[in-house]
Amino acid sequence: MKILQDVALTYDDVLLVPQYSEVDSRRLLSTKSPLTKKIFLQSPIVSANMDVVTESEMAITMAREGGIGIIHRFMTIAEQARQIERVKKAESFIVENPITMTDQHTVGDVKRVVEETDTGGILIVDKDEKLVGIVTTRDLLFEENDEKPVTAIMTRDVRSAPPDTSLKDAERLLHEHRVEKLPLVNKDGKITGLVTLKDIMKITKFPKATKDAKGRLAVGAAVGVRDREMRRVEAALQAGADCIVVDIAHGDSQLEIDMVKNIRKHFPQAQIVGGNVATADGT
């Protein structure tokens, strides 16, 4: 081991020396930085892919504040995929695959799905998958008869909009009709998406959030360097991971180089981050 003889410093020992500035306000400054060629962070902060640091809750918070979280790999492949999906569903202008149930279900069926998915409303469709109603948690609040058909409590006159509705128009329609959910329906009466007031409010509240091309929060996934980890890479990308972080204690190694090449070969469009590298030579 080589022991450095130079003076060692901590963060508390270092101060940025102020200089002359013509900036009128800190709001005019930008800290936007590239994480990869396709991912840019308004706040260049990445939460560590450690099991005591980053899971879905941390990743959601990081992305909303302009950074990004990397879901750790010390869990099953299926669980990591679920963590990624939670981040992707946490905030989006359009919910692409909203939860639906048929008009043949009961109140009890709806209650179970609401509890399992932690959703605030279920869209009801007929046998032809056409929208016929909506049930919200408010409809279920004092309903004690679980055997009652869902058609008895659902709202039938559902305000909807076409699939190409803009954010501005969706916000206007929600306000005009005093509703919190706006299904997007095509000419055949089938559901293509869902816009909620809650999601629009989040977009307004976190204007610098790190998002993907579909308006969903960005998130990364950590993987190991063994061949079996390719299944984890595939599952993470399918779940919506925006980047893959190769997680190894010493990144300046042949194991990492081989893994990066393997990922690039099988998933040429994937954004890959290699770590951990502690020296300039390792880059």
Nearest Cα to 140, choosing from 181, 102, 110? 110
How far apart, in whole angstroms, are the C-alpha atoms of residue 140 and residue 52?
Answer: 37
Residue 121 β-bridge partners:
136
How far apart, in whole angstroms, are the C-alpha atoms of residue 272 and residue 257?
Answer: 12
Is residue 279 assigned to a domain?
Answer: no
122/258 same-domain check: no
Please give the chain's pLDDT, 283 residues, in tens: 566 677 788 888 888 888 999 999 988 899 999 999 999 999 999 999 999 999 999 999 999 999 999 999 999 999 999 999 999 988 888 888 899 999 999 999 999 999 998 888 899 999 999 999 999 989 998 899 999 999 999 999 999 999 999 989 999 999 999 999 999 999 999 999 999 998 888 888 999 999 999 889 999 999 999 999 999 999 999 999 999 999 999 999 999 999 999 999 999 999 999 988 888 887 7
Query: Which position has the token pair 């999906």?
Result: 85
- 3-class DSSP state for residue 65? coil
156/191 same-domain check: yes
- Tell me the residue range of the domain where 135 lies: 100-200
Instruction: State whether the Cα torsion 37-38-41-42 is positive or negative.
Output: positive
Chain CA centroid to CA 125, Å: 27
Chain CA centroid to CA 101, Å: 24
183/108 same-domain check: yes
Q: How many domains does the chain divide into?
A: 2
Whether the model pTM is above 0.85: no
How far apart, in whole angstroms, are the C-alpha atoms of residue 148 and residue 127?
Answer: 19
Is residue 9 assigned to a domain?
Answer: no
